[in-house]
Amino acid sequence: MHNPFTSRSSTISGPGTDYLPVTPSDTNDLSDIAVSLYVENGGDVTFHSIRGTQRTVAVGDNSWLLCGVSRVFETGTTATGLHAVVIG
């Protein structure tokens, strides 16, 4: 089977290469920086942006949070079913 990603360089404007499940943590960063988050069940998401700023955003069911994210905090996060979109 031909893999169109083989000769393609990863870019921030292209599709992610994987979805990683997110377990919110007040002490641990994500294993890979997320270029966005997908949220299955809405609520609040408290996170560190890649600029190092802590934010809390209310999102609905089946929502995208379009921001570079390094950590999703357990404290303040009520949304569930979180997935990190990563590249590379």
User: Could you tell me which residues come within 8 angstroms of residue 76 by beta carbon, excluding any fewer than 6 positions away?
Assistant: 44, 46, 56
Tens digit of each residue's pLDDT, the chain (88 residues): 765 556 656 666 667 788 999 999 999 999 999 999 999 999 999 999 999 999 999 999 999 999 999 999 999 999 999 999 998 7
Q: What integer pLDDT is reported at residue 62 of this predicted model?
A: 98
Q: The domain containing residue 48 runs over which residues?
A: 18-86
In a domain? residue 78: yes
Classify residue 13: in a domain, yes or no. Answer: no
Q: What is the pTM of this model?
A: 0.86
Residue 58, in any domain of the structure: yes
Q: Judge whether 79 lies within some domain.
A: yes
Spatial contact of 82 and 57, defined as CB atoms under 8 Å apart: no
- Number of structural domains (the chain) is 1
Strand boundaries in 5-68, DSSP class E? 18-21, 36-41, 43-49, 54-59, 63-65
Does any domain span residue 7?
A: no
Q: Has residue 12 been placed in a domain?
A: no
